[in-house]
Amino acid sequence: MKTIASLVLGSAWLLTTATSVSAECTGPTDPWPSFRAAVPTAERIIAGEVLPPVSANDSTGYRAVFTIRVIDVLRGPAPAQPFVEIVGLRSGLPLTVCASSTATLLSGDMVVFALGAIATDGVTRINTLAYLREPAESILTGVERITAAELDAITRPPVPAQDEPAIGGLIELVVGFVIVGLGAALRHRRSIRGTS
């Protein structure tokens, strides 16, 4: 297993913003942006499971600093390690409820992050997340739940539009051949009658 140092290096990959864990809100947090709305413009989309803390001294409750075991990378470069540390991830939106709203999760949470998406103002870069499995509990506001099938459907690159098969034209062509063939058969029949 890789050292904690390598986990910390992997955290830079996720565009996280460090924040003081001691400054976390004890009440409601600011709403997180819609994951589904963020997907089209997200630079990176990564799914993972929040792992228990490595050290017995670390908090086992809600944590703003946690390690995920990467399950899937749906967009963007894959991390060098299968474990990535998330440190104080914020949405990037202006905060109105809590001065330090961060992604605080529990061990075992299955989540997917959309990072570096463009907010509705068309300028601000934001981060958000969704639960892949209903959490036992959550203190985050507005975090969506998404199924694996939905995630696949909204993150799969669109299939390039192809021309509709020319079935109508094919049918017209076949009908045309039949009519020409019938016409030729009728002319042939008349010519036989005329000669007999």
Residue 141 is given by DSSP the state B
Residue 175 three-state SS: helix
Question: Identity (one letter) of the amino acid at 173?
Answer: L
Residues near 60 by beta carbon (within 8 Å), at least 6 away in sequence:
52, 53, 107
Partnered with residue 125 across adjacent β-strands are: 118
Amino acid at 117: A
The DSSP output letter for 100 is T
How high is the mean pLDDT in each 10-residue block of the chain (196 residues)? 38 40 62 96 97 74 93 94 94 87 94 97 96 92 95 83 58 64 61 58
Whether pTM > 0.95 for this model: the answer is: no
pLDDT of residue 17: 40
